Amino acid sequence: MSFISEVWGFLIERKKFWLFPVVIILGVFGGLIVLSQGSAIAPFVYTLF
């Protein structure tokens, strides 16, 4: 969790507000891959990449 707070602090301090959507989308896709491992959804998730 410290990594996430450091990245968040960096974005706020350097005023890189345009990176917020990129970080959020990457987090959503990462969570989707982790949660769908071993399920029937996995082949469809890997076709996105």
pLDDT given at position 38: 67
pLDDT given at position 9: 87
| Cα(17)–Cα(3) distance, integer angstroms | 18
pLDDT in tens, 2-40: 888 888 888 888 888 888 898 889 888 888 778 777 667
- How many Cβ atoms are within 10 Å of 23's Cβ, its own excluded? 14
Q: Per-residue pLDDT for 42 more than 80?
A: no
Please name which of 38, 41, 37, 6 lies closest in space to residue 23, comparing C-alpha atoms: 6
Q: Which pTM value belongs to this model? A: 0.58
pLDDT given at position 40: 72
Looking up tokens 């982790």 gives 34
Report whether 41 contacts 48 (CB < 8 A).
no
| Cα(24)–Cα(40) distance, integer angstroms | 25
More confident residue, 48 or 32: 32
